[in-house]
Amino acid sequence: MTIKEILVHVEPGAVGERRLGYALSMAKAFGAKVTGVSVVLSPTATAFAMMGDAQIYAAAAEASEESCSAARTLFANATAGSSLPTEWREGTGIPVEVIAAEAGRADLAILGRDDRSDPDGAFYALPPADVMLACGRPVLVLPSQSPTAFSAKRILLAWKSTAQAARAAHDALPLLTQAEEVILTEIVAKQTATKYEIAIETMADHLRAHGVTVTVRKFAQAGDAGELLIRIAGESACDLIVAGAYGHNRVREWVLGGVTYSLLNASPIPCLLSH
């Protein structure tokens, strides 16, 4: 995989501005195109968001359009005079569906955590888990207090012998090969494995064959594995966490795995997740 096009969800406000700055910085590091996307709520999406209150549909639609216009202005100002190839796109519909569809033509999507911490942010909610589990692309989720410049000198790569973890390692190779150190980390549960697994040392050899500088670390599981990964990444001064994302659709609602939930909701460090 190469990173030649980065999609970023753009919304007005300080949080959105930091996210856009991070995306542009990352694009510069990889010589990639940046596609900014915002969404105008369709009547169906507005009705859903307003929970059936017809009296405020029009006001909601207007607020959505104003938010998108402010995002467009932010993107134009941030990219003015840039040598990077850029593109602005607006979609009308349900935000998750629009962003997930647009991400399909990018190599990587950058989203916010959707904790609604910025009162000047987008009018609509955009749960990154919903996009991540639907788009078929790696998603880089930034916390509200994200850095404004991309850095991935030290990366924690979470390993478990699963398809999702293997996919995450493959998707992140362009970043892993440029990192000064990749800390390949496994949280080992007490129970004995009941299926054939790829050992973490074998995965480390595979990464080294791609030119990745790898350090292997194993930890016994104690409490929440996601919180443990976050703590290890912080203590190791990592700039980025890479992990497989786990979830399934149950009664029209995505049910996330415990590690995925913790990384999405509690990590102060940017997380690159692949499903």
Count of helix runs (H) and strand runs (E) in the chain: 10, 12
Give CA separation, 87 vs 3, 52, 90, in Å: 16, 35, 10
**Residue 255 pLDDT class (50, 70, 90 cuts):** very low
Evaluate if residue 64 carries a pLDDT over 50.
Answer: yes
CA-nearest of 73, 106, 130 to 260 is 130
pLDDT mean over 50-60? 61
Return the percent helix, strand and coil in the chain, to nearest 5.
40, 25, 35
Rg (CA), the chain: 19
Give CA separation, 255 vs 69, 246, 274, in Å: 33, 9, 16
CA distance 47 to 86: 33
What does the pLDDT look like over 206-250, one tens digit per residue? Answer: 999 999 999 999 999 887 888 999 999 999 999 999 999 887 554
Question: Domains of the chain by range and CATH?
Answer: 5-142 (3.40.50.620), 154-274 (3.40.50.620)
The whole-number pLDDT of residue 131 equals 93
The whole-number pLDDT of residue 125 equals 84
What does the pLDDT look like over 113-122, one tens digit per residue? Answer: 877 677 888 7
The whole-number pLDDT of residue 258 equals 75
Helix axis angle, 14-30 to 57-79, nearest 10°: 40
pTM: 0.91
What mean pLDDT is reported for the chain?
Answer: 89
What secondary structure letter does DSSP report for 42? P
The whole-number pLDDT of residue 254 equals 41
